[in-house]
Amino acid sequence: MRASIRLLAALAAVALSAAVHAQAYPTKPVRIVVPFGPGGIGDITTRVVAPKLAEGLGQQVIVENKPGAGGILAAETVARAEPDGHTLLLVTNGTAISQALFKSLPFDPLNDFALVSTMGYFGLVIVNNPAAPQKTLREVIAAAKASPGKLNIGSIIAGSTQHLAAELFRSTTGVDMQMIPHKTTGEVFAGVKSQDIHLAFEFVAPMLSNIRAGNLRALAVTGSKRHPALPDVSTAMEAGVSGYEVSSWNGIAAPAKTPRAVVARLNQEMVKAVASPEVQKRFGELGVDGRTGTPEEFRDFYAAEAKRWTRVIESAKIPKR
């Protein structure tokens, strides 16, 4: 009986402590660790949201770039941080599928984070050279089926969203096209320009200026709806690839065991920040669809994305690093 009373008292003390802590949160600057270097779309979107998030939280929000090891360094830093809501991680679909890409990880991507909210969704575009004889995605697919193994697809490094989008395209359409990975988007563009690459998959933002200048032909976008920056370019589904939809995304997570009340506060401020006119305007200029949701919605989405892309990785036989 006494043991039960002591247990109840201890639980009550923990609950009270968590409630007091959450009510006081935040008590110092909040740090968002970004697993990429400065200047990329993930870094830019985080820095767009950070000032509005700081306004809502009443504390400075610091963006810290920590690239390296395919996002492992940043994720491990946050997974091992104090679970008090002052150290956050910019998570992406790369974080969700990391277990399928690496032989071992110093963190559990599904269980070591308290997911707060999604932030933005990024469309991809499928391009070829304007001088290529195939002027539509249907024509590329027909040419690939007529000459198996003769055409190729370019993307950046294996396991990237661009690469996985290309692999899903191959399996969805049943085409026999060679996959040629490159280190950078610049290399992909050079390959398309020289026609060494017959089809390429890349995010809209870095390709937009060359599409508008006529250096690239946009065949389709990969989202469920047309991209606002390319309203005249059909979706892949409109172009005849039934059921094909790919978007990259990012969001914010805290370490696991962060108090629910702190996660709820972060979610509340994230929703307000992303919905603000300033953030929506800048996201629109970047071609980013700013969307948030509840922690529960994010958790379900995150788990579903991990399963979906793990199947693609296994089907494509992409070796673990």
pLDDT computed for residue 316 by the predictor? 77
Question: Strands 178-182 and 152-156: what pairing?
Answer: parallel
For 163-210, how does the pLDDT look when each residue is reduced to its tens digit (9 = 90+)?
Answer: 889 999 999 999 999 999 887 888 899 999 999 999 999 988 888 889
CATH, range 123-221: 3.40.190.10
pLDDT in the model for residue 63: 97
Task: Report the alpha-carbon distance of residue 4 to residue 257 in Å, rounded.
Answer: 24
What average pLDDT score do residues 241-269 get? 96
Q: What is the pLDDT of residues 103-150, one digit of tens each?
A: 899 999 999 999 999 999 988 999 999 999 999 999 999 999 999 999
- Computed on alpha carbons and rounded to an integer, the radius of gyration of the chain in Å comes to 22
Q: What is the pLDDT of residue 5?
A: 56
Name the region of 70 (left: φ>0; alpha: ψ -120 to 50; beta: rest). Answer: left
Quickly state the pLDDT bin for 10 (edges 50, 70, 90).
very low
Report the top-level CATH class of 28-121+248-316: alpha beta
State the chain's mean pLDDT as an integer: 90
**DSSP character for 318?**
P
DSSP at 235? B
Number of H helices, E strands in the chain: 12, 10
Asked if residues 172 and 241 have their Cβ atoms less than 8 Å apart, the reply is: yes
Residue range 104-114, pLDDT digits in tens: 999 999 999 99
Residue whose pair of structure tokens reads 């992303």 in the numeric block: 274
Residue 231: partners with Cβ closer than 8 Å, 6 or more residues away: none
Q: Where are the domains of the chain?
A: 28-121+248-316, 123-221
* β-pair partners for 252: 90, 117
**What confidence category does residue 6 fall into, taking pLDDT thresholds of 50, 70 and 90?**
low
Tokens of 255: 């370490």
Angle of helix 2-24 relative to helix 260-275, nearest 10 degrees? 20
pLDDT category of residue 285 using cuts at 50, 70 and 90 = confident
Question: Is the CB of residue 101 less than 8 Å from the CB of residue 192?
Answer: no
How sure is the predictor about 158, in pLDDT bands with cuts at 50, 70 and 90? confident
**In terms of Cα–Cα distance, which of 298, 318, 256 is closest to 98?**
318
> Do 28-121+248-316 and 123-221 show the same overall fold?
yes
Partners of 288 in the β-ladder = 122
| Separation CA 228–CA 245 (nearest Å) | 16
The kind and range of the H/E element at 188 are helix 185-193
Give the number of C-alpha atoms closer than 13 A to the C-alpha of residue 175, restricted to the C-beta side.
26
- How many other CB atoms are found less than 10 A from the CB of residue 36? 21
Reported in sequence order, the residue ranges of the chain that DSSP labels E, i.e. its strands, are 30-34, 61-65, 87-92, 113-128, 152-156, 178-182, 199-203, 217-221, 247-255, 288-290
d(CA 121, CA 275): 14
